[in-house]
């Protein structure tokens, strides 16, 4: 199930990027696949305080997203 994959991802961020984990300065870029939009997944992300960015629809939106994330101190994603 997708939530199992998210658990593995969270553990990998915690192990490989402890500084990002401690400051919660990582985010998940979601591609809006149907399985990722289930209520179960949304509840999981909210319960675990995971910052979720929806996948942009255009290159311009993507560039704006990256620019804004650097302005707000989100220096990278895993």
* Percentage with pLDDT > 90 across the chain: 4
For 27-65, what is each residue's pLDDT tens digit? 777 776 777 778 888 888 889 888 777 666 666 777 777
24: in domain = yes
Structural domain span for residue 28: 2-71
9: in domain = yes
76: in domain = no
User: Which band of pLDDT confidence, cut at 50, 70 and 90, is reported for residue 15?
Assistant: very high
Sign of the Cα pseudo-torsion (53, 59, 63, 66, in order): positive
Quote the mean pLDDT of the chain: 77
78: in domain = no
Number of domains in the chain: 1
11: in domain = yes
Q: Rounded to whole angstroms, what are the CA distances from 50 to 21, 58, 65?
A: 11, 24, 17
The pTM is what? Answer: 0.55
77: in domain = no
User: Which band of pLDDT confidence, cut at 50, 70 and 90, is reported for residue 72?
Assistant: low
């Amino acid at each position: 199930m997708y939530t199992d994959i998210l658990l593995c991802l969270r553990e990998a961020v915690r192990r490989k990027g402890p500084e990002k984990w401690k400051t919660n300065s990582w985010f998940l870029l979601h591609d809006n696949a149907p399985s990722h939009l289930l209520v179960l997944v949304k509840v999981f992300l909210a319960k675990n305080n995971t910052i979720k960015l929806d996948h942009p629809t255009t290159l311009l939106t993507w560039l704006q997203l990256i620019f804004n994330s650097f302005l707000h101190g989100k220096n990278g994603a895993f």
